[in-house]
Amino acid sequence: MFCKDCIPDLYNKFVQMGYTNYNSENYIWLFEMEWMQTGDVVNYEYDENESMEILPFAFTGHGDKWVFVNNNTCEPYIGLCYSEDTEGFYYAKNFEDAIMRNILDYVSSSSFYVDEKDAESYQMCRDEFQFYLEKYSNTFAGLFSQNYIELINSLRKKKIKKCNDSYCEWYALLSLDEVDEIMKTYLDFSMMNRSFPSVERFSYGPMGSC
């Protein structure tokens, strides 16, 4: 069972500073990470058969759950559990790394436009995202490692460019290969992207037993 006393200190600081409160001027927006209300986290009511080794703290726009994953320490792993699946995957080794990876996922995604007339409703231009990068840099200073602050500041100097893989092309600040290199340097985690059960696994006795 996930112990509520093992909620990471950094997350608690986010709560105390109003970073997870949508109605606060200090609210921190992150890509596909919609913060749950603090009371809903601390007093979380588990769904039927949901694993009690996890504790949700945020949702994606599709209702998938960002969760703390029990590892018997006060720095739980961070996972992402898809709503229609019985497994989640390990996203980062701690809360700080999860936030940093989230930022990297966004700057390498198809969420940017170059020409406004071709923009999708979910996209923003580089100048708009500069606001968020500046806020991350100022807000996380003193909370995050200096390496991460420097990394965020380096993103502020990047220009949108055309990226591609074998399926499509898009505009982003970083290519997927560039993000992979950064991940290996800063966010390496032996469990990353491995799966874990998000529902309880039951053991049944022999058929016909009483």
Structure tokens at 159: 């220009």
Q: pLDDT tens-digit profile of 106-128?
A: 999 999 999 999 999 999 999 99
Alpha helices in the chain (DSSP H): 9-16, 38-42, 95-107, 126-140, 146-155, 176-186
pLDDT in tens, the chain (210 residues): 899 899 999 999 999 999 999 999 999 999 999 999 999 999 999 998 999 999 999 999 999 999 999 999 889 999 999 988 899 999 999 999 999 999 999 999 999 999 999 999 999 999 999 999 999 999 999 999 999 999 999 999 999 999 999 889 999 999 999 999 999 999 999 999 999 999 986 433 343 332
The Cα 192–Cα 163 span in angstroms is 24
Task: Spell out the residues 6+ positions from residue 210 whose beta carbon is closer than 8 angstroms to its own.
Answer: none
